[in-house]
Amino acid sequence: MQIHADGAQVRRWRDSRGWSQEHLAEVAGIGLRTVQRIENGEKAARESVMALAAAFGVDVAALTVDTEAQAAKAEQTGKAKEIAALRLSVLIHLAGYLFGMLVFAGIGLGMGDASIMKWPTIWWTVGMAGHGLILAVVELVTRQQPRQA
């Protein structure tokens, strides 16, 4: 059975002890090429990972990578970035909306008829409200989803 060991962790522990890959292979009783493959992030036999864990004096779980947890974390990070981008888009839209309303007011006052810009104001307000509503719904749904460990 193949196990995906945390190659970066193996390398850090090896470096912190001042061991070469050859020395680690000798201490663990495994081949040098196996140590190199593990440090490069490739899968290894369960026995090889157990031998490395014994050489470092740690539990095997400390050397293994939980791919499901990493995938869940990556998905959560991706969702957080998407929400941040949506927030930014709403803020940019809001800034443009406020500036536009000032321009519309100036046009209306300049022409002597404030109602001339009524329909553009109404429709832009509807668009701004819709954009804000989308953000509110997305944030509400995201908060109500169960967190994955």
Q: Are 42 and 3 in contact (CB under 8 A)?
A: no
Q: How many domains does the chain have?
A: 2
Question: What is the crossing angle of helices 7-17 and 21-28, to 10°?
Answer: 100
Residue 91's DSSP bridge partners are none
Q: Clarify whether residues 77 and 50 are in a common domain.
A: no
How do strand 44-45 and strand 2-3 relate by DSSP bridges?
antiparallel
pTM over 0.85: no
Q: Strand, coil or helix: what is 66?
A: coil
Q: Give CA 16 to chain center in angstroms.
A: 29
> Which of these three, 62, 79, 109, is where a domain ends?
62
Q: Clarify whether residues 77 and 137 are in a common domain.
A: yes
Q: Clarify whether residues 56 and 94 are in a common domain.
A: no
- pLDDT given for residue 143 in this prediction: 86
Q: Clarify whether residues 54 and 94 are in a common domain.
A: no
Task: Please report whether residue 149 resides in a domain.
Answer: no
**Residue-level pLDDT, tens digit, the chain, 149 residues:** 788 888 888 998 899 999 999 999 999 999 999 999 999 988 888 899 899 989 999 888 888 866 677 778 888 899 999 999 999 999 999 999 999 999 999 999 999 887 889 999 999 999 999 999 999 999 999 888 765 54
CATH number at residue 38: 1.10.260.40
- pLDDT given for residue 120 in this prediction: 94
Containing structural domain, residue 89: 71-144
3 φ/ψ angles, rounded to the nearest 5 degrees: -125, 140
Q: CB under 8 Å to 82, separation ≥6 — which residues?
A: none
- pLDDT given for residue 99 in this prediction: 98
